[in-house]
Structure 1
Amino acid sequence: MSAPTPPVMTKPVPPTPLGRKRPRPADALFRLALLASLAVALLFLAVLIGYVLYEGVSRLDSRLWNNFPSIRHPERAGAQSAIWGSVWVVGLTGLLCLPVGVAAAIRLDEYADPTRWYNRWLELNIQNLAAVPSVVYGILGLGLIARGMGLGTTILTASLTLALLVLPIVIIASREAIRAVPNSIRLGSLALGATKWQTVWRQVLPAALPGIATGSILALSRAMGEAAPLLLLGGLTYVAFNPDGINSAFTVLPIQIFNWTSQSREEFAALAAAAIVALLVLLLAMNSLAIFIRNKYGKRW
């Protein structure tokens, strides 16, 4: 018998890390194109904001929020009626859409059967309505609310129209916040003898409240910056009084800015720029509040 052949010793090959691929030139070019697009967008945004600040810095004083609009005397004109109109419209929009949106989110996530065809149909339509252009809601508000219901061009009409506009956004944001609550919290509450509604009211909603508040504030900030649906409703471009109720005529900051930019005198261009800065400050304040609520009270399960 011949002696057994000794095994050949080879150098072990290190395993290839899972998920790691060799970088390709196309990936690097695509990433470079994305970064270039982002840089161009930020550059144009910075130029636009700088131009608006440069044009409107001369009118960023107390005249802007203390005086009413004036066609003959732009040096004394202000946007007090537009500011209070925005407060009325956005405030009433929040009162109309937030309870309905949160209740709809609770119904769809906590009580609705996802296997039923009508629940799936409802979810699909809510997602589609969130992407509908705002001008379509303006046409709906004009035909159904202003003329069909006979409410006319009032704050209530504008608030109902904007509530329809932001309602899908509130529902989607609230559902995401409710879904983020771990199911173990629901099961623990039910195991201790709580009813379904007690579990939702005392456990799920308090845990989801920061996410709901964040989504709601962002939805209302979109409503504050909308002009197209209110222009279709016939929002007045010149209002020299503050609203005194939900049935009052109104104007808002976007409509007032549109009116001033359509004037030919240079003084109105400075007024429009100052009003744009005021609107940006309000929107940034609302978005900052949403970010603060999310970072301060949000939970990572």
Structure 2
Amino acid sequence: MTLDGYSTTLLIQLVIGLLATGVVAGILAGLLGVGGGIVIVPVLFWIMTSLHFDAEVAMPIAVATSLATIIPTSISSTRAHRKRGSVDFELLKLWGPAVAVGALIGGLLSHVIDGEGLLFIFGFIALAVSINMAIPKTLVISDHLPKSSWVNRTIAAVIGVFSSLMGIGGGTLSVPTLSAFSFPIHRAVGTAAAIGLLIAIPGVLGFIWSGLGAEGRPPLSLGYVSVPAAVVIFPVTFLCAPIGAKLAHSLNQRYLKLAFAVFLAITAIRMLSSAF
């Protein structure tokens, strides 16, 4: 299947839509630490299905392409947070390897989990994240991270697997997890930006391998990564992530999280309805 037959006007509208998605995703990555993928995945999925690509292909393409766009976003956001001293490098040493291994496993699992399965995973976890963001009081499990290094690595690996399968950066799952262990919120957000890079690179490699030879992919795809879509979103997310990081230190986080929780809940429900 190709894009032949689609009007120039439609393609221009799609490019504009991708650029706007990149702006929102980049700002959110720095602002809330949720990772731009939580916006990019559903938008790419709806764009591809509107172009009549099968949902079984559209979903892994959306997830893999989102992971690819997270690479520059994470680099830009991490640099901005590092300047403010909010990246915890000790935690990165502890969690990093396990997160990367988990992300690679998630990417490879896309070879056996179909598009409908990815829709369910994204929808259910996104709905849980939206509920967590809407709750006034953050769930607290402990006043410190687990003492055991293996418990920490297990947590990190699980975050890596599901973040990769959802096409999201580290913030969406790692920030609420760290907050549950009373980790300072600004350091959680800053460190999550770096975790996003450790998720995106191995996750993308796994999705590239899984998608090699898959039928029905859009033109110029590398495995399940849509190169044209990634190229359009790449520079915008990279430029906008520092804006979000700057705003994170000046805006009322509570109201922002409530607004995003509503948006995310609606998105999750729509994604789940697509799976049924």
Fold conserved between structures, TM > 0.5? no
Q: Which has the higher contact order (CA 8 A, sep 6+)?
A: 2
Structure holding more helix per residue: 2
For the pair shown, the structure with the greater C-alpha radius of gyration is 1
Scaled by the length of structure 1, the TM-score of the pair is 0.29
Q: Normalising by structure 2, what TM-score?
A: 0.31
